[in-house]
Amino acid sequence: MKLLTAATLILASSTAFSRPAPLVSIPTHDAFFNSIAAHCGKAFEGEVAVDNAKGPSSFTDKKLVMHVRKCSETELQVPFHVGDDASRTWIITKTGSGLSLKHDHRHKDGTDDASTMYGGHTLDAGFAQMQSFPADQYSKELFVKEGIAQSVGNTWQMYIYPEVFTYRLIRQGREFKVDFDLTKPITPPSAPWGYKD
């Protein structure tokens, strides 16, 4: 009898571990995530609204396009094309303790850039229309290693309203913001570097 009980307990516990973990989320994170996912498959053109960097910008006179390319219940892949440069993809993920934003940077041959998968994680509920992603530890260590320690203080923000999506980077002395017009979908670009259509 004891042997049977032990076997039953082992079976029950192994069944519990084999089930996927429940997706834990909160309403503001869900609403934000779902508002972006509602545009899945569509692409939109944007323009730089703020850029206080000194010197010439790699974004000047370039066509800026965001493409809500791939969506699942837990992940959004949003390539950000800058002219012919298809090296950037924003990845927004439900983690069970909030939302994560990562920047997947690739070379034209699809290999990883030295600076890739940097980003941050929400620290609070945020808002249905806006979430902030302060730099995580991986990103801080990467920035120091790559000689751009000033980026350790980065916070990325994303805003979504019915007519506009905004991507914003802020840190002490630095602000960069791009607004995308959600009222005028455009023809989606081809897959970003490192991905397939």
Burial 89-103 (b: 16+ CB within 10 A, else e): bbbbbbeeebbbbbb
Q: Which residues of the chain carry a pLDDT beneath 70?
A: 1-23
Instruction: Read off the pTM.
Output: 0.88
CA-nearest of 176, 195, 184 to 78 is 195
Helix/strand/coil percent split, the chain, to 5: 20, 40, 40
- What would the pLDDT profile of 151-173 be if each residue is shown by its tens digit? 999 999 999 999 999 999 999 99
Q: What is the pLDDT of residue 20?
A: 65
Domains contained in the chain, CATH given = 25-185 (2.40.128)
Q: What is the pLDDT of residue 18?
A: 62
Per the CB < 8 A criterion, the answer to whether 143 and 118 are in contact is: yes
Residue type at 175 in one-letter notation: E
HSE toward the beta carbon, residue 11, CA cutoff 13 A: 6
Q: What is the pLDDT of residue 29?
A: 97
Q: What is the pLDDT of residue 175?
A: 96
Cα R_g (the chain), whole angstroms: 20
Length of the chain equals: 197
Q: What is the pLDDT of residue 21?
A: 60
Instruction: Tell me how crowded residue 163 is: count the other CB atoms within 10 A of its CB.
Output: 11
